[in-house]
Amino acid sequence: MSWARRFTRASLIRTKGGPSLYYPYALLGSGYVIPDEEAFAKLERFSERWIVLSFVLSVVWFPVFNASRLLGSISLLAGTAVLLLWHWRWNRRTVASWEGAESRLSPVESRLLQAKALGWPVLVFGLLMSLLFVVFGLLVLLSGPDSGVSSWLVIGFFGLLAAGYGALIVLRLRPPDRENEHPGA
C-alpha cells in the first residue's frame, strides 16, 4: 500500500457487512454511502492525488519559493487556498447524488481509523520529520531578523503536525475499545 493511500483510509471506510462510507471532511461534515466499487476506486485515486499535492505544497513548494520571505508565505497561503477549493469543488460534484451516511464520525473514531491506517512506521517517521522541521524553523528564526513570518509558519504548521502524530501514537498504544469501535475499523 502506498504511503498516500494510507492517509486516505481514515475517510474511505469499508464497513463489515454494510456499504462503504466516505467522509470527505472527516469530523467537519457528514458521510456518504459509496454507491459501488468504481466510485470507491475513483475516490481512492482522487484522495491519493490530494495527499501527494498537499505534501508537495507543504514540504517542497514552501522551501523552494521561500527566497523572498514574503513571497514564500503568500505563495504557500495561495497554494493552500487553491488546493482546498479544488478539494471542496470536486467533492461537491462527486457526492451530490449520493445517499448520506446514518452517522457522523466522532473525534475518537476518526483518530482511531487514521492511526490504524497509517501504521507504526508512518506514525514514527511523521513525528520525527515534523520535529525536524520544527527544529529547522527555530534555527532559521534564530539566524536573523528577516526570517520571522516564514519561520513561524513552518514552526506552527509542523508543530501542529508533530502534536497530531504524537496523539495518534498515544492512541495506538491504548488497548482497543471493541464495544465502541466503528464498524469499518
Q: Which of 62-66, 91-95, 137-141, 170-174 has the lowest mean pLDDT?
A: 62-66
DSSP-derived letter for residue 11 is: T
Q: Which of 11-20, 31-40, 131-140, 144-153 has the lowest mean pLDDT?
A: 144-153
Q: Calculate mean pLDDT across residues 152-178.
A: 85
Tell me the pTM: 0.64
pLDDT tops 90 at residue 143:
no
Who has greater pLDDT, 158 or 79?
158
Element housing 33 (H / E): strand 32-33
| Separation between Cα atoms, residue 109 and residue 123, nearest integer Å | 17
Own/partner pairs, 170-178, CB within 8 angstroms, 24+ separation: 171/111, 171/112, 171/115, 172/115, 172/116, 172/120, 172/123
Question: Tell me, what's the pLDDT at 68?
Answer: 60
pLDDT tops 80 at residue 176:
no
